[in-house]
């Protein structure tokens, strides 16, 4: 059994003290050690993006990052997106615009979009489509995801102005 390391992770504003093998991916640590199973694994080689989380506010493939590398950084997963019972504008827009079917890729798309909009709240439609082409969805054919992100971005800009 490889040696374990004690690591403290800051996820969704909570502190998790975990003892993990250095070879374990951040995705596995989030799922197995923190019990945050909303982050999904679709390919484990960095293509599908189902495992996307925010690390220091930037979208990251959590299957391509080791858990130990997240020490000292802030991590945000889909469980930390809603404000209590109030859905995040992205979650609300995905719901209203049928941006999900089986739901497996959804957490990755939500976190990808959340990170991208945090970096650039004024993305053009083409920019949005371009960013979203980082991840794979097999059910929706994408157009409702693109639409949901567009409408959520508009809503978030309106709220920021208010």
What is the binding site for another protein (CB under 8 A)? 1, 21, 23-24, 31-32, 35-45, 47-48, 50, 77-79, 81-82, 87, 91, 94-96, 98, 100-107, 110, 129-130, 132-146
CB of 137 to another protein, least distance (A): 7
Tell me the backbone φ, ψ of residue 71, rounded to 5 degrees: -60, 135
Nearer to another protein, 39 or 70 (CB): 39
Nearer residue to another protein within complex by CB, 74 or 134: 134
* Residue among 78, 91, 74, 5 at smallest CA distance from 37: 78
Nearest to 69, CA basis, from 23, 16, 116: 23
The helix-helix angle for 125-132 and 143-161 (nearest 10°) equals 120
Closer Cβ to another protein, 32 or 71, answer by number: 32
Interior CA angle at 112 toward 17 and 83, to 5°? 65
Q: Least distance from C-beta 155 to another protein, angstroms?
A: 15
DSSP state letters, 4-39: -EEEEEEETTEEEEEEE-TTSBHHHIIIIIS--TTS
Q: In whole angstroms, how close is the CB of 58 to another protein at the nearest point? A: 19
User: Whole-number minimum distance, CB 57 to another protein, in Å?
Assistant: 18
Q: Which is nearer to another protein, 2 or 161 (CB)?
A: 2
């Amino acid at each position: 059994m490889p040696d374990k390391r004690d690591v403290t992770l800051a996820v969704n504003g909570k502190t998790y003290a975990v003892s993990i093998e250095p070879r374990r991916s951040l995705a596995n640590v989030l799922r197995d050690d923190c019990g945050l199973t909303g982050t999904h694994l679709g390919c484990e080689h960095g293509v599908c993006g189902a495992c996307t989380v925010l690390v220091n506010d930037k979208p990251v493939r959590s299957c391509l990052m080791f858990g130990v590398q997240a020490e000292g950084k802030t991590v945000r997963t889909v469980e930390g997106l809603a404000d209590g019972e109030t859905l995040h504008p992205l979650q609300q827009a995905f719901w209203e615009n049928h941006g999900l079917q089986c739901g497996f890729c959804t957490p990755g798309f939500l976190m990808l979009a959340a990170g991208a909009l945090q970096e650039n709240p004024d993305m053009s439609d083409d920019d949005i489509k371009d960013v979203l082409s980082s991840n794979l969805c097999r059910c929706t054919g994408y157009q409702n995801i693109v639409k949901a992100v567009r409408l959520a971005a508009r809503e978030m800009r309106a709220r920021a102005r208010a």
